[in-house]
Structure 1
Amino acid sequence: MITVRGIQELISQITAMKKDLSKPGVTVGFVPTMGFLHEGHASLMKQARNKTDIVVLSIFVNPIQFGPNEDFESYPRDEKRDLAVAEKEGVDIVFIPSVEEMYPQPTKTTIQVSGLTERLCGASRPGHFDGVTTVVAKLFNIVQPDFAFFGMKDAQQVAVLTQMVNDLNMPVTIVPCPIMRETDGLALSSRNVYLSAEERSQALSLSRSLSVAQKASEEREDITISELRNLVISEITKSPAAVIDYVEVLTFPGLQPLAEEQQLEQIQEDVIVALAVKFGKTRLIDNHRLKKVEVLSRV
């Protein structure tokens, strides 16, 4: 495994690896991360390793996707541990640029995906997705991957990046990967490390609430969007530490709102329950697709 920190060095290493493989149609798989890797990230690397010839992992805590009162400076970092995880998963190249390498001058060009970024996390984190799309576009231009792997825990990010790739004819396929969870159901996240023992216990209400919604959707054909949403909220608020940012039931990947009294069985699109909840100072997101009408790869 090779570790590089410069853009030109990364480009040179990828070019050299393609030549060394000496076969037509060499594919590059790319896993962009902000580091502090966990099993969720490892699952993305596994999929990239299985699907592509060369696997590139990036570790970059991107400042332009953090708001002024968010946790950029305190975001957990552990480069030595991250490199060990990457090597274990068979990554070929790890790209760890500095902020100065990625943004040598103030950024005057940003990418904005309208229609998908105004709600959910975009509503409470203005500018966040402009930072995500801009850095991912830069990384795609540098790495030139054939496939890029993203976890479905941030379903909005998957939808936004897929829209960006399609709209701008970027020659890369977004590969959505399943949410990875702890054995007790908590979705894996680098931010879980912030939770106290009590907060972590109470955060299990998130996955429980999604299970309640799934069960209700299976047992009641006439259940409405409003009833589903209220069931999720009711389960989450059983945890006294929970402060709800949002609970939404939307189409996916379009992320469009549904009429409150519309019955789930009447909807001819994928439907997702997405939520964001704070426990103490830690904001967690989770989601579950209640209804899958189309295969996500067709997005």
Structure 2
Amino acid sequence: MNSKFLGTGVALVTPFNADLSIDHEALTNIVNFNIDNGTDYLVICGTTGESVTLTKAEKKQVVETIAKANNGRVPMVLGIGGNNTALVIDEIKNTDLSQIDAILSVSPYYSKPTQEGIYQHFKAVSEACPVDIILYNVPGRTSKNIEAETTIRMANDFKNVVGIKEAGNNMSQYFELIKNKPEDFLIISGDDDLALGVVLAGGAGVISVIGQGFPKDFSEMIRLGLKGEAKEAYKLYYKIVDAIGYIFEENNPAGIKGVFEALNLCADTVRLPLVPASQALKSKITAFVNNY
């Protein structure tokens, strides 16, 4: 199994200054905070990183800042996906992937392709991509589920497709994937609330939002889960679970940025169309962090 992506990966936020420019100092601090507290790998420019609001130049700067802070300590995964296959391939070909261990590629959104369309999209991406690929299924955002059968077909057919970040919040689909996958294919939870259950059922870990706010306990929880130590792992789960609800209550990443603001790691500034967490939600988040 590709041990690079076992355990806890975190979908890093992109911190912004009050003028909406990128706060590179805060980003460096968040990377160090995570690596120092046991996070296993970093996921850059995903949904949580507000990648759709970043220019090409800004994405490049974000990767450079994270790579510099990381200094080769843990693997790095870069989000490159979309609903224009030709454009995704173009981005792969024109991005410096020399420090990137894999790309995380979301299933085409908005266009609602058939299962065959999803397969052909990723076939084209696989042929163009020089590094490993982690598929990303998030039907709540794409409005189209990658059926378990399609994922397994891609896992068997495309050598560089090494895993899937599954975020359908559907436990029976996780079970189907874990049961039928090729031996070395990674089923990675994209649902923070289900991650421990997925790992205990045979999943490879998580790409988490909440994990970056509480990396020590969250990564330890997943580590215990991978060893089958359910009782100890669930103690940590119950310690964190309320925060998982809070950070997704309004929008992501406003919630997790609220956590970081309470931890004095970055401001809660987000770019439109997102807005910061409401005062009521921020109060709950701050109280949780202070009591933690």
Same fold, judged at TM 0.5 (above): no
Greater radius of gyration (CA): 1
TM-score (norm 1): 0.26
Higher share in strand: 1
Structure having greater relative contact order (Cα 8 Å, sep ≥ 6): 2
